[in-house]
Amino acid sequence: MAELLLKLSSAAAVLLAVVSITSSFAVVEPKPFSRYISPLSMGLNKPEKLSHLHFYFHDIVAGKNVTAVRVAEAPTTSDSHPFGAVAVIDDALTVGPDIGSKLVGRAQGIYALTSLTEASLLMAYNFAFMEGEYNGSTLTVMGRNPVFSAVREMPVIGGSGVFRFARGYVEAKTHTFDLKTDNAVVEYNVYVFHY
């Protein structure tokens, strides 16, 4: 009888341990999908700054060292009707309009010809900076660019690094455009709020 009692109490101890471990797993709560946090916990207690950046964007679609490549097009896309063409870019950003001037970053992303009636692009790209206090930081731009308008305005929708929580806009103005190659140099003025 004592032997049977000892076996039963050992089995009960094992069962109790299994139930205890299982119930501790059942109590673990997953992290909530969303929650409110203090802006102070993200370092947002500093005053917001407004910065102005000025540089030139070199879009090279033909010739040596191409930086914009067509990666897709609609079956109806042609040179005379470019609607539906999509290009990927890795364009140099320089201090001056000459491609040999000081490199401050790169514009990396895509643009697509999105108008049936005019040369208008949907641009979605990052300015990836590699100079000075902005080195390693990015600004994200996404907007409509009617390329033959004198000045085009597009929103800055975010950023990283120094530009975390950025908001603002860019003004793009064509500096030069080669009708034979479609290569362009575009002057950018960027106005951005950031912490």
Q: Is the pLDDT of residue 21 over 90?
A: no
DSSP 8-class letter at 181:
T
Contact 149, 118 (CB under 8 A): no
CA 151 to chain centre: 23
Quote the pLDDT of residue 5.
47
Q: Could you read off the pLDDT of 136-190 as tens digits, one per residue?
A: 999 999 999 999 999 999 999 999 999 999 999 999 999 999 999 999 999 999 9
Tell me the pTM. 0.80
Q: Could you read off the pLDDT of 55-111 as tens digits, one per residue?
A: 999 999 999 999 999 999 999 988 888 999 999 999 999 999 999 999 999 999 999
CA 65 to chain centre: 24
Can you tell me the distance from the alpha carbon of 143 to that of 10, in angstroms, rounded to the nearest whole number? 71
Percent of the chain at pLDDT exceeding 90: 72
